[in-house]
Amino acid sequence: MSKEFYTQIGTSTSDTEKFRMRGKDVLTEVLGEKSFSETFYLLVTGRDLPQNHIRTFDACMVVLMDHGITPTALVARMVYDSLPEDVQLPMIAGTMMVGNKYAGTMAGAGAIYKAGVTHDGDKREWAAGIVAEYREQKKFIPGYGHPYYSPTDPRADRMFQIAMEGDVRGEYIKLAKILGEEIEKSRGKPLTLNVTGALGAVLNEVGFPVEVMRAVAAVGRSAGLVGHIYEEMQNPIGPAIVDFINNIEYRDPD
Amino acid sequence: MSKEFYTQIGTSTSDTEKFRMRGKDVLTEVLGEKSFSETFYLLVTGRDLPQNHIRTFDACMVVLMDHGITPTALVARMVYDSLPEDVQLPMIAGTMMVGNKYAGTMAGAGAIYKAGVTHDGDKREWAAGIVAEYREQKKFIPGYGHPYYSPTDPRADRMFQIAMEGDVRGEYIKLAKILGEEIEKSRGKPLTLNVTGALGAVLNEVGFPVEVMRAVAAVGRSAGLVGHIYEEMQNPIGPAIVDFINNIEYRDPD
Amino acid sequence: MSKEFYTQIGTSTSDTEKFRMRGKDVLTEVLGEKSFSETFYLLVTGRDLPQNHIRTFDACMVVLMDHGITPTALVARMVYDSLPEDVQLPMIAGTMMVGNKYAGTMAGAGAIYKAGVTHDGDKREWAAGIVAEYREQKKFIPGYGHPYYSPTDPRADRMFQIAMEGDVRGEYIKLAKILGEEIEKSRGKPLTLNVTGALGAVLNEVGFPVEVMRAVAAVGRSAGLVGHIYEEMQNPIGPAIVDFINNIEYRDPD
Amino acid sequence: MSKEFYTQIGTSTSDTEKFRMRGKDVLTEVLGEKSFSETFYLLVTGRDLPQNHIRTFDACMVVLMDHGITPTALVARMVYDSLPEDVQLPMIAGTMMVGNKYAGTMAGAGAIYKAGVTHDGDKREWAAGIVAEYREQKKFIPGYGHPYYSPTDPRADRMFQIAMEGDVRGEYIKLAKILGEEIEKSRGKPLTLNVTGALGAVLNEVGFPVEVMRAVAAVGRSAGLVGHIYEEMQNPIGPAIVDFINNIEYRDPD
């Protein structure tokens, strides 16, 4: 094969001479040395996660791990019932749902903040411009709005607090708040900066790339679904669901 | 709904009064307090991962995260090319492959060791019995054998070392070695205790349940695949693959 | 690439000189000439489906296409709600559930009948042997037993009738009935030959390979789920489900 | 449950009194009476597919069933190698790739033609408007353009021919051609009306809903992938692929 095709992620299984990942020896520099989140960060970015950002990045990985019997958990549990032998299958069935509609807002918000930080001029003017632009296109600004939490989402507040305690520079977080203020100015009342918006800002603070930002939610939720699958093995809700759907009436055409 | 259906994993999204997970307050007792691996362990088992086992469990989560351009990475990269908008989709396509054939050996080995530890009599006799039983059924004992590594798999050695440094009791690890010795006695030459066998033993040492043990591999690989997807965005190998498969000849029937 | 790697399925997209499938010209010998089921049969087996078996094979493809709001339909509908943009995703999420637990019985029954037909001796003795073997291993014989239908499954009866009307040889169907009689003899009461058992026999009659037999169920259900997804777009049951699961109580540990 | 939730697709498995689908008795009015494509059409639309459109709809279902060792076939084959026990899993892994990037053009084209047919004024003016609109937004008009076929895609030509032979009204096909002429006028040279564009028009002609149009491609490809999986069982290309990817070089960071 032409030399132009190569990878910088890791060595292949057929190479027993060395076991490397992103320039490090896996046995001595990764195993026992780095946590899951640190290794994930290294693998994706090719950089070491700074010590002071470990706590923040772990919080990002954890905050969307679970929220009880969500539709993703329901799907994982139902798929488990049909495919009880391969635990990864119910897990991925639920994880596939962490898509554009939900996690997409994370990357959407992250992309807006990233553009804003590189914007040269006045940040408040920039934010007002974004608000005007979305209003004109009649689209929602990703990361703002929540059906239950108002005026703030306590998870977003906590994420910002943890990040600031880790000495991030804070420019994305500041921008997220400015944008929130401009949204409020434009509509006359506040719109909650939600947890996915907060994640868009905080993941930028720790240098995780916008292009795969939503994977943080997907990996976290994958892990969370394992808890549901294990509970379903022992204390199933599947029978309640099946009973419920069996009672949905069939109607012949009118 | 009847009160018999309930969950002990976490509160639902519609409950904004509290945000709990396995009896803990997520905002104050999980976020900023627990790492990804600790939270995953808590969510699945309902117990706190002991401090001295954190390093070991992280090593388990990390050891199968990547191994270069494997078939799982190839699949994730090809799916990314067709579905570039939803990053979780290539991720789950690769992760679904972490199934019976590969990760199944982890749980298989884990189940054998678990049975062995609760076995009352002499452990060496127990091991010899297992060897005889599998030989009679002409089946492989899960966790032993490797196409390249011999006499030991350096990843297995390292996993055991890390676990012992974390003051695990060591009974599953000891059993894994005894079983390896009995296999050697039976066939007249050693058979490598491989990394999935080691994981079966070590995850038992830290109390992770056998029933969802292979999920450790699946969550780890999910994370690893994100690295491949991000690299594919920037330095794709997809075109090399497409070029290769376009040259596979079609033949009319003979 | 070495000449040993080749395909006999079809020409590649990069070949615009010809568009062939299993030795036929797609534009003139497939499009407008063959139905979906005939083309599927050709693609898998490399043989033309005989005219007198078209009706039978279509019935096999159709009989498991739908059964109302099953767990597969529920999963497809929930995944649609999260991923409304890519219709194939809810479809595949439901289809992945057509696995070992359900469709596996089809292939399991099919394999038993296939072995029975090639068996040289007396067929009733062969059947009694199968019954004894499964009884000893405390396993169920795939294709027999139904929670609601007794003594016969009307779908199985109808499948056999259609097949016989198509002049199949009937040897697998006969064997399925003999096996049922031996099961009854052994347990003292009848055990319903169910629709998956019937499919195992009938698909053998039309020469569809046992190894991919359950794909008939998977392709059929894929199509059926599209109906559910389209209905969910217009008359959703998702909100009822979400409402139901939001009421599943969370409990802190005891 | 409140009476407002119901389905019109089919009766549930727990109802053994009747087995109905879209107002028909499955045993007597579907099995043995309707082909796969007819049943699929009925299930999705709630209407019977007219006799003269059966051949056309079958052609739509078949035209994208296979195109040799495509990326979808490669993915199915690789997933089969990891999950050899559950045939539906490699099938769905390949099918998930029939998404926005490829099949999306079908629905995109279909939606444009549907809007055009209900447009009151002059159709050529309408087409010129579409061309201008896409040009201004610097977007491609879905259904036009092909890397190899020019000036026409023989598959599109054949699809139109089959449809016209089935006495469709032809208004969507005519519109597809007018739009192609306006595209040519605008860019000064022709742009091939491709097979997905043709499908968008023809599926409208037979009344298949735009919202799930791309499912026709997904179901068809599902079936086609079964052929690849079965061939992979007998004459695998997997080893060639694994050999190829094992030779992709790993590089430490610069």
B19 interaction partners in chain A (CB closer than 8 Å): 67, 154-155
Interchain proximity D222–C8, CB inside 8 Å:
no
CB-based contact (8 Å) between C249 and chain A? no
Q: What is the pLDDT of residue D4?
A: 82
| Residues paired with B201 in a beta bridge | none
**pLDDT tens column, B144-166:** 999 889 999 999 999 999 999 99
Residue C3: pLDDT band (50, 70, 90) is: low
Alpha carbon A253 to its chain's center: 43
* pLDDT reading at D2 higher than 70: no
Is the separation of the CB atoms in C22 and C29 below 8 Å?
Answer: no
DSSP labels, chain A: --TT-EESSB--TT--S--EETTEEIIIIITTTS-HHHHHHHHHHSSPPPGGGHHHHHHHHHHTS--SS-HHHHHHHHHHHH-TT-THHHHHHHHTTSSTTTTHHHHHHHHHHHHHHH--S-HHHHHHHHHHHHHHTT-PPTTB--SS--S--HHHHHHHHHHHHTT---HHHHHHHHHHHHHHHHHSS---B-HHHHHHHHHHHTT--GGGTHHHHHHHHHHHHHHHHHHHHHS--HHHHHHHHHTSEE----
Low-confidence residues of chain A: pLDDT under 50: 1
The Cα of A52 is separated from the nearest Cα of chain C by a number of Å equal to 33
**pLDDT tens column, C29-85:** 999 999 999 999 999 999 999 999 999 999 999 999 999 999 999 999 999 999 999
**pLDDT tens column, C208-241:** 999 999 999 999 999 999 999 999 999 999 999 9
Please give the residue of chain B at the shortest CA–CA distance from C242.
B14
Interchain proximity C92–D92, CB inside 8 Å:
yes
Pairing status of strand D6-7 against strand A24-25: unpaired
Which is more confidently placed, D254 or B56? B56
The Cα of A63 is separated from the nearest Cα of chain B by a number of Å equal to 7
Is the separation of the CB atoms in C21 and C43 below 8 Å?
Answer: yes
**pLDDT tens column, D115-165:** 999 999 999 999 999 999 999 999 999 999 998 899 999 999 999 999 999
- For chain C, the chains sharing at least 3 beta-carbon pairs closer than 8 angstroms are A, B, D
CB atoms within 10 A of CB A183: 23
* pLDDT reading at D3 higher than 80: no
CB-based contact (8 Å) between B63 and chain A? yes
Interchain proximity A249–D5, CB inside 8 Å:
yes
B182 vs B127: CA distance, rounded Å = 6
The Cα of C84 is separated from the nearest Cα of chain B by a number of Å equal to 12
Residue B85 has its nearest CB partner, among D98, D100, D248, at D100
Optimal mutation site among D45, D96, D248, D250, interface A, most CBs of chain A within 10 A:
D250
Residue A85 has its nearest CB partner, among B16, B43, B100, at B100
The Cα of B68 is separated from the nearest Cα of chain A by a number of Å equal to 4
Residue B14 has its nearest CB partner, among C5, C246, C252, at C246
Please give the residue of chain B at the shortest CA–CA distance from D248.
B69
Arithmetic mean of pLDDT over chain C = 95
**pLDDT tens column, D11-70:** 998 888 899 999 999 999 999 999 999 999 999 999 999 999 999 999 999 999 999 999
B89 interaction partners in chain D (CB closer than 8 Å): 96
Interchain proximity C88–D73, CB inside 8 Å:
no
Please give the residue of chain C at the shortest CA–CA distance from A71.
C78
Least Cα distance to A41 among A164, A226, A205 occurs for A205
A42 vs A206: CA distance, rounded Å = 12
Residue B3: pLDDT band (50, 70, 90) is: low
Q: What is the pLDDT of residue B77?
A: 98
**pLDDT tens column, D188-226:** 999 999 999 999 999 999 999 999 999 999 999 999 999
**How many contacts does A have with B, using Cβ atoms within 8 A?**
273
* pLDDT reading at D1 higher than 60: no
Residue C101 has its nearest CB partner, among A83, A97, A101, at A83
Residue D86: CA count within 13 A, CB half-sphere: 27
A24 interaction partners in chain B (CB closer than 8 Å): none
Interchain proximity D82–B93, CB inside 8 Å:
no
CB atoms within 10 A of CB A58: 26
A35 vs D143: CA distance, rounded Å = 48
Interchain proximity C81–A71, CB inside 8 Å:
yes
Q: What is the pLDDT of residue A13?
A: 87
* pLDDT reading at C1 higher than 80: no
Interchain proximity A88–B214, CB inside 8 Å:
yes
What is the arithmetic mean of pLDDT over B19-34?
Answer: 97
**% of chain C with per-residue pLDDT over 90:** 92
Interchain proximity D83–B102, CB inside 8 Å:
no
CB-based contact (8 Å) between B235 and chain D? no
**% of chain C with per-residue pLDDT over 70:** 99
The Cα of A55 is separated from the nearest Cα of chain B by a number of Å equal to 6
A79 interaction partners in chain C (CB closer than 8 Å): 75, 93, 96-97
Arithmetic mean of pLDDT over chain D = 95
* pLDDT reading at B104 higher than 90: no
At C32, which amino acid appears? G
CB-based contact (8 Å) between B30 and chain A? yes
A80 vs A87: CA distance, rounded Å = 7
pTM of the model: 0.97
Residue C101: pLDDT band (50, 70, 90) is: confident
Q: 3-class DSSP state for residue C3?
A: coil
- For chain D, the chains sharing at least 3 beta-carbon pairs closer than 8 angstroms are A, B, C
The Cα of A251 is separated from the nearest Cα of chain C by a number of Å equal to 11
Q: 3-class DSSP state for residue C191?
A: coil
Interchain proximity A222–B218, CB inside 8 Å:
yes
Q: Which of residues 97-126 of D touch B (CB under 8 A)?
A: 97-102
